[in-house]
Protein backbone atom coordinates (compact mmCIF):
# COMPACT_ATOMS: atom_id res chain seq x y z
CA UNK A 1 0.00 0.00 0.00
CA UNK A 2 1.14 3.57 -0.58
CA UNK A 3 2.44 5.80 2.15
CA UNK A 4 1.34 9.40 1.66
CA UNK A 5 3.86 12.21 1.39
CA UNK A 6 3.16 15.88 0.81
CA UNK A 7 6.00 17.95 -0.60
CA UNK A 8 6.20 21.62 -1.44
CA UNK A 9 7.15 22.28 -5.06
CA UNK A 10 10.92 22.03 -5.64
CA UNK A 11 11.67 20.76 -2.13
CA UNK A 12 12.81 17.41 -0.84
CA UNK A 13 10.04 14.97 0.08
CA UNK A 14 9.41 14.29 3.74
CA UNK A 15 6.90 11.86 5.25
CA UNK A 16 4.05 13.35 7.24
CA UNK A 17 1.02 12.05 9.09
CA UNK A 18 -1.79 13.39 6.93
CA UNK A 19 -1.72 16.70 5.13
CA UNK A 20 -0.58 18.82 8.09
CA UNK A 21 -2.06 21.98 6.60
CA UNK A 22 -4.81 24.18 7.99
CA UNK A 23 -7.80 25.63 6.13
CA UNK A 24 -6.98 28.88 4.38
CA UNK A 25 -9.08 32.01 4.57
CA UNK A 26 -11.14 33.54 7.32
CA UNK A 27 -14.28 31.72 6.26
CA UNK A 28 -12.72 28.24 6.26
CA UNK A 29 -12.17 27.65 9.98
CA UNK A 30 -15.82 26.63 10.32
CA UNK A 31 -18.36 25.71 7.68
CA UNK A 32 -21.81 24.97 9.04
CA UNK A 33 -21.38 22.41 11.83
CA UNK A 34 -17.86 21.45 10.71
CA UNK A 35 -14.93 22.93 12.64
CA UNK A 36 -11.59 22.16 14.29
CA UNK A 37 -10.07 18.84 13.34
CA UNK A 38 -13.08 18.17 11.12
CA UNK A 39 -12.06 21.06 8.87
CA UNK A 40 -8.41 20.00 9.02
CA UNK A 41 -9.45 16.56 7.77
CA UNK A 42 -11.69 18.13 5.15
CA UNK A 43 -8.69 20.15 4.00
CA UNK A 44 -6.68 16.96 3.57
CA UNK A 45 -9.44 15.43 1.45
CA UNK A 46 -9.59 18.54 -0.74
CA UNK A 47 -5.81 18.84 -1.09
CA UNK A 48 -5.32 15.19 -2.04
CA UNK A 49 -8.13 15.53 -4.56
CA UNK A 50 -6.44 18.57 -6.12
CA UNK A 51 -3.13 16.71 -6.22
CA UNK A 52 -4.73 13.86 -8.10
CA UNK A 53 -6.61 16.21 -10.44
CA UNK A 54 -9.97 14.92 -9.25
CA UNK A 55 -12.88 17.07 -10.50
CA UNK A 56 -14.76 19.05 -7.85
CA UNK A 57 -17.64 16.60 -8.05
CA UNK A 58 -15.30 13.79 -6.95
CA UNK A 59 -14.05 15.87 -4.02
CA UNK A 60 -17.66 16.53 -3.04
CA UNK A 61 -18.34 12.77 -3.14
CA UNK A 62 -15.34 12.08 -0.90
CA UNK A 63 -16.42 14.71 1.62
CA UNK A 64 -19.98 13.35 1.63
CA UNK A 65 -18.67 9.88 2.36
CA UNK A 66 -16.42 11.05 5.21
CA UNK A 67 -19.18 13.19 6.68
CA UNK A 68 -21.43 10.14 6.94
CA UNK A 69 -18.85 7.51 7.86
CA UNK A 70 -16.88 9.42 10.51
CA UNK A 71 -18.32 12.93 10.83
CA UNK A 72 -14.98 14.02 9.35
CA UNK A 73 -13.06 12.60 12.30
CA UNK A 74 -10.08 10.28 12.03
CA UNK A 75 -11.60 7.50 14.10
CA UNK A 76 -9.41 4.65 15.45
CA UNK A 77 -12.46 2.40 15.66
CA UNK A 78 -15.66 1.48 13.82
CA UNK A 79 -17.92 -1.39 12.83
CA UNK A 80 -15.86 -4.60 12.95
CA UNK A 81 -12.37 -3.45 11.93
CA UNK A 82 -13.38 -0.24 10.13
CA UNK A 83 -11.10 2.76 10.69
CA UNK A 84 -10.41 6.33 9.80
CA UNK A 85 -12.25 9.02 7.85
CA UNK A 86 -13.89 6.60 5.42
CA UNK A 87 -14.19 3.62 7.77
CA UNK A 88 -12.11 1.40 5.51
CA UNK A 89 -11.28 -2.11 6.71
CA UNK A 90 -7.76 -3.61 6.84
CA UNK A 91 -9.35 -7.06 6.44
CA UNK A 92 -10.62 -6.03 3.01
CA UNK A 93 -7.18 -5.03 1.80
CA UNK A 94 -7.50 -1.24 1.98
CA UNK A 95 -4.30 -0.93 4.02
CA UNK A 96 -2.84 -1.35 7.48
CA UNK A 97 -4.23 0.24 10.64
CA UNK A 98 -1.52 2.89 10.50
CA UNK A 99 -2.22 3.65 6.84
CA UNK A 100 -5.98 3.87 7.20
CA UNK A 101 -5.65 6.31 10.07
CA UNK A 102 -3.46 8.56 7.91
CA UNK A 103 -6.04 10.96 6.39
CA UNK A 104 -3.97 11.60 3.26
CA UNK A 105 -3.58 7.88 2.58
CA UNK A 106 -7.28 7.20 3.22
CA UNK A 107 -8.30 10.03 0.88
CA UNK A 108 -6.00 8.74 -1.86
CA UNK A 109 -7.50 5.26 -1.54
CA UNK A 110 -11.03 6.64 -1.66
CA UNK A 111 -10.28 8.57 -4.86
CA UNK A 112 -8.65 5.52 -6.45
CA UNK A 113 -11.75 3.44 -5.72
CA UNK A 114 -14.12 6.22 -6.83
CA UNK A 115 -12.45 6.75 -10.19
CA UNK A 116 -12.67 3.00 -10.84
CA UNK A 117 -16.49 3.14 -10.57
CA UNK A 118 -17.97 3.05 -14.10
CA UNK A 119 -19.51 6.42 -15.08
CA UNK A 120 -19.00 7.79 -11.57
CA UNK A 121 -19.34 11.36 -12.86
CA UNK A 122 -22.64 10.55 -14.56
CA UNK A 123 -24.47 9.25 -11.49
CA UNK A 124 -25.74 11.21 -8.46
CA UNK A 125 -22.97 11.99 -5.95
CA UNK A 126 -24.71 10.00 -3.23
CA UNK A 127 -24.81 6.94 -5.48
CA UNK A 128 -21.12 7.39 -6.28
CA UNK A 129 -20.28 7.50 -2.58
CA UNK A 130 -22.32 4.35 -2.02
CA UNK A 131 -20.52 2.58 -4.88
CA UNK A 132 -17.30 2.94 -2.89
CA UNK A 133 -18.59 2.57 0.67
CA UNK A 134 -21.27 -0.10 0.12
CA UNK A 135 -23.17 1.06 3.17
CA UNK A 136 -26.22 -0.61 4.66
CA UNK A 137 -27.74 2.91 4.70
CA UNK A 138 -27.10 4.12 1.14
CA UNK A 139 -29.51 7.08 1.31
CA UNK A 140 -27.50 8.91 3.96
CA UNK A 141 -24.80 10.33 1.67
CA UNK A 142 -27.09 12.54 -0.40
CA UNK A 143 -28.15 14.42 2.75
CA UNK A 144 -24.67 15.91 3.01
CA UNK A 145 -24.19 17.09 -0.57
CA UNK A 146 -24.92 20.75 0.25
CA UNK A 147 -22.53 20.66 3.22
CA UNK A 148 -19.80 19.09 1.08
CA UNK A 149 -20.19 21.70 -1.64
CA UNK A 150 -19.98 24.50 0.92
CA UNK A 151 -16.78 23.01 2.33
CA UNK A 152 -15.21 22.75 -1.14
CA UNK A 153 -16.08 26.39 -1.77
CA UNK A 154 -14.66 27.51 1.56
CA UNK A 155 -11.41 25.62 0.97
CA UNK A 156 -10.84 26.83 -2.57
CA UNK A 157 -8.16 29.18 -1.24
CA UNK A 158 -6.41 26.67 1.01
CA UNK A 159 -2.78 27.69 1.40
CA UNK A 160 -1.31 24.24 0.75
CA UNK A 161 -3.39 23.56 -2.37
CA UNK A 162 -0.28 23.95 -4.55
CA UNK A 163 1.52 21.10 -2.82
CA UNK A 164 1.91 17.82 -4.63
CA UNK A 165 1.88 14.20 -3.56
CA UNK A 166 4.66 11.70 -3.90
CA UNK A 167 4.66 8.12 -2.70
CA UNK A 168 6.92 5.89 -0.72
CA UNK A 169 7.11 2.13 -0.82
CA UNK A 170 7.84 -0.26 1.95
CA UNK A 171 8.09 -3.08 -0.57
CA UNK A 172 7.72 -6.81 -0.04
CA UNK A 173 4.70 -8.55 1.34
CA UNK A 174 4.20 -6.10 4.19
CA UNK A 175 2.83 -3.34 1.96
CA UNK A 176 4.09 -0.52 -0.24
CA UNK A 177 3.68 -0.09 -3.97
CA UNK A 178 3.21 2.75 -6.40
CA UNK A 179 0.26 5.03 -6.96
CA UNK A 180 -0.35 3.10 -10.18
CA UNK A 181 -0.49 -0.16 -8.23
CA UNK A 182 -3.06 1.37 -5.91
CA UNK A 183 -5.27 2.30 -8.85
CA UNK A 184 -5.01 -1.29 -10.10
CA UNK A 185 -5.93 -2.61 -6.66
CA UNK A 186 -8.81 -0.17 -6.26
CA UNK A 187 -10.20 -1.16 -9.66
CA UNK A 188 -10.13 -4.84 -8.76
CA UNK A 189 -11.54 -4.23 -5.29
CA UNK A 190 -14.43 -2.27 -6.80
CA UNK A 191 -15.56 -5.50 -8.48
CA UNK A 192 -15.88 -7.58 -5.31
CA UNK A 193 -19.05 -9.64 -5.41
CA UNK A 194 -19.18 -9.78 -9.21
CA UNK A 195 -19.73 -13.41 -10.36
CA UNK A 196 -17.06 -15.61 -11.87
CA UNK A 197 -17.65 -16.14 -15.59
CA UNK A 198 -15.34 -18.23 -17.74
CA UNK A 199 -13.82 -15.95 -20.44
CA UNK A 200 -15.59 -12.97 -18.86
CA UNK A 201 -14.08 -9.54 -18.38
CA UNK A 202 -13.00 -6.71 -20.66
CA UNK A 203 -11.20 -3.40 -20.20
CA UNK A 204 -14.64 -1.86 -19.59
CA UNK A 205 -15.77 -4.31 -16.90
CA UNK A 206 -17.70 -7.58 -16.51
CA UNK A 207 -18.86 -9.35 -19.67
CA UNK A 208 -20.79 -12.53 -20.57
CA UNK A 209 -18.99 -15.80 -19.99
CA UNK A 210 -18.93 -18.86 -22.21
CA UNK A 211 -19.14 -22.63 -21.83
CA UNK A 212 -20.48 -23.64 -18.43
CA UNK A 213 -20.81 -19.95 -17.55
CA UNK A 214 -22.74 -18.92 -20.65
CA UNK A 215 -25.23 -16.25 -19.63
CA UNK A 216 -23.26 -15.24 -16.53
CA UNK A 217 -21.87 -11.70 -16.64
CA UNK A 218 -18.63 -11.41 -14.71
CA UNK A 219 -14.90 -12.07 -14.73
CA UNK A 220 -12.64 -15.05 -14.91
CA UNK A 221 -9.29 -14.69 -13.12
CA UNK A 222 -7.34 -13.21 -16.03
CA UNK A 223 -10.31 -11.09 -17.07
CA UNK A 224 -10.19 -9.36 -13.69
CA UNK A 225 -6.46 -8.70 -14.10
CA UNK A 226 -7.09 -7.40 -17.64
CA UNK A 227 -9.77 -5.01 -16.36
CA UNK A 228 -7.77 -3.74 -13.38
CA UNK A 229 -4.65 -2.97 -15.38
CA UNK A 230 -6.65 -1.40 -18.22
CA UNK A 231 -7.58 1.35 -15.76
CA UNK A 232 -3.94 2.47 -15.77
CA UNK A 233 -3.48 2.02 -19.51
CA UNK A 234 -1.65 -1.32 -19.43
CA UNK A 235 -2.80 -4.19 -21.65
CA UNK A 236 -2.81 -7.60 -19.94
CA UNK A 237 -3.51 -10.82 -21.92
CA UNK A 238 -6.74 -12.65 -21.18
CA UNK A 239 -4.95 -15.92 -20.46
CA UNK A 240 -2.81 -16.86 -17.46
CA UNK A 241 0.11 -18.49 -19.24
CA UNK A 242 0.28 -15.56 -21.65
CA UNK A 243 0.38 -13.17 -18.67
CA UNK A 244 3.38 -15.09 -17.31
CA UNK A 245 5.19 -15.04 -20.65
CA UNK A 246 4.46 -11.38 -21.39
CA UNK A 247 5.77 -9.77 -18.22
CA UNK A 248 9.04 -11.55 -17.46
CA UNK A 249 11.23 -11.52 -15.45
CA UNK A 250 9.08 -12.93 -12.68
CA UNK A 251 9.45 -12.43 -8.93
CA UNK A 252 9.85 -15.95 -7.54
CA UNK A 253 10.52 -15.08 -3.90
CA UNK A 254 7.25 -14.42 -2.02
CA UNK A 255 9.10 -11.86 0.07
CA UNK A 256 9.67 -9.75 -3.02
CA UNK A 257 6.05 -9.63 -4.16
CA UNK A 258 4.57 -6.13 -3.98
CA UNK A 259 0.98 -4.80 -3.98
CA UNK A 260 -0.40 -4.73 -7.50
CA UNK A 261 1.74 -7.64 -8.70
CA UNK A 262 -0.03 -10.48 -10.48
CA UNK A 263 0.49 -13.76 -8.60
CA UNK A 264 0.46 -16.88 -10.78
CA UNK A 265 -0.33 -20.40 -9.60
CA UNK A 266 0.84 -23.58 -11.31
CA UNK A 267 -0.41 -27.11 -10.78
CA UNK A 268 3.01 -28.63 -11.48
CA UNK A 269 5.57 -25.91 -10.81
CA UNK A 270 6.15 -25.16 -14.48
CA UNK A 271 4.85 -22.41 -16.80
CA UNK A 272 2.84 -25.05 -18.65
CA UNK A 273 0.86 -25.75 -15.48
CA UNK A 274 -0.12 -22.13 -14.78
CA UNK A 275 -3.89 -21.95 -14.30
CA UNK A 276 -4.79 -19.04 -12.02
CA UNK A 277 -3.89 -15.40 -11.36
CA UNK A 278 -4.71 -12.96 -8.57
CA UNK A 279 -3.79 -9.37 -7.74
CA UNK A 280 -1.67 -9.02 -4.62
CA UNK A 281 -2.92 -6.55 -2.00
CA UNK A 282 -0.08 -6.83 0.48
CA UNK A 283 -0.17 -8.32 3.97
CA UNK A 284 -0.74 -11.84 2.63
CA UNK A 285 -3.95 -10.94 0.82
CA UNK A 286 -5.01 -11.34 -2.80
CA UNK A 287 -8.11 -10.28 -4.73
CA UNK A 288 -9.16 -12.70 -7.44
CA UNK A 289 -12.04 -14.36 -9.27
CA UNK A 290 -11.74 -17.99 -8.16
CA UNK A 291 -14.04 -20.36 -10.07
CA UNK A 292 -17.54 -20.99 -11.45
CA UNK A 293 -20.19 -20.40 -8.81
CA UNK A 294 -17.98 -18.05 -6.82
CA UNK A 295 -17.46 -14.27 -6.93
CA UNK A 296 -14.58 -11.79 -6.99
CA UNK A 297 -13.27 -11.75 -3.44
CA UNK A 298 -10.28 -11.33 -1.13
CA UNK A 299 -8.38 -14.35 0.19
CA UNK A 300 -6.25 -13.94 3.32
CA UNK A 301 -3.06 -15.60 4.60
CA UNK A 302 -1.92 -16.86 1.21
CA UNK A 303 1.67 -17.34 2.41
CA UNK A 304 0.69 -19.60 5.31
CA UNK A 305 2.84 -22.76 5.22
CA UNK A 306 1.08 -25.53 3.32
CA UNK A 307 -1.71 -23.27 2.02
CA UNK A 308 -3.04 -23.74 -1.51
CA UNK A 309 -1.51 -20.46 -2.67
CA UNK A 310 1.86 -21.15 -1.05
CA UNK A 311 2.01 -24.66 -2.55
CA UNK A 312 1.12 -23.60 -6.10
CA UNK A 313 2.93 -20.26 -6.23
CA UNK A 314 5.29 -20.18 -9.21
CA UNK A 315 5.96 -16.46 -9.20
CA UNK A 316 4.53 -13.01 -9.70
CA UNK A 317 4.84 -10.55 -12.56
CA UNK A 318 4.73 -6.76 -12.52
CA UNK A 319 3.09 -5.28 -15.65
CA UNK A 320 4.50 -1.92 -16.59
CA UNK A 321 7.64 -2.32 -14.49
CATH number of the domain that residue 250 is part of: 3.90.1720.10
216 and 145 part of one domain:
no
121 and 184 part of one domain:
no
Does residue 90 form part of some domain? yes
Q: Is 56 exposed, middle or buried (0-12, 13-18, 19+ CB in 10 A)?
A: middle
107 and 149 part of one domain:
yes
Does residue 7 form part of some domain? no
146 and 24 part of one domain:
yes
104 and 214 part of one domain:
no
Does residue 111 form part of some domain? yes
134 and 180 part of one domain:
no
pLDDT for 163 equals: 25
Q: Which of 157, 187, 208 is the last residue of a domain?
A: 157
Does residue 168 form part of some domain? no
199 and 313 part of one domain:
yes
Of residues 82, 84, 62, 63, the one with CA closest to residue 73: 84
56 and 135 part of one domain:
yes
Instruction: State the 10-residue block means of pLDDT for the chain, 321 residues long.
Output: 26 27 50 88 87 87 96 91 92 85 89 89 93 91 91 66 28 48 87 92 93 93 95 92 93 92 95 95 91 92 93 95 76
Q: Which of 157, 188, 215 is the last residue of a domain?
A: 157
153 and 193 part of one domain:
no
Q: How many domains does the chain have?
A: 2
Range of the domain at 228: 175-317
93 and 124 part of one domain:
yes
99 and 189 part of one domain:
no
Does residue 296 form part of some domain? yes
Does residue 285 form part of some domain? yes
Of residues 143, 135, 1, the one with CA closest to residue 78: 135
Does residue 179 form part of some domain? yes
Does residue 163 form part of some domain? no
Task: Give the span between the Cα atoms of 298 and 195, in whole angstroms.
Answer: 13
Q: Which of 99, 122, 157 is the last residue of a domain?
A: 157
pTM: 0.53
Amino acid sequence: MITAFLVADDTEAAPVKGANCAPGGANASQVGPWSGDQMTNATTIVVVGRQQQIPDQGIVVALMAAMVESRLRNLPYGDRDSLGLFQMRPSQGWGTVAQLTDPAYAAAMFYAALTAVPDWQGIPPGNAAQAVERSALPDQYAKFEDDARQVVGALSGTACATWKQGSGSTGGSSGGGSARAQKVIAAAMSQRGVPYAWAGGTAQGPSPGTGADAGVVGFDCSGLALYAYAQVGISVPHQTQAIWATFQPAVTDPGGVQPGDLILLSSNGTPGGIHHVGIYLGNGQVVHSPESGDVVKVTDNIWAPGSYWARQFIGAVRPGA
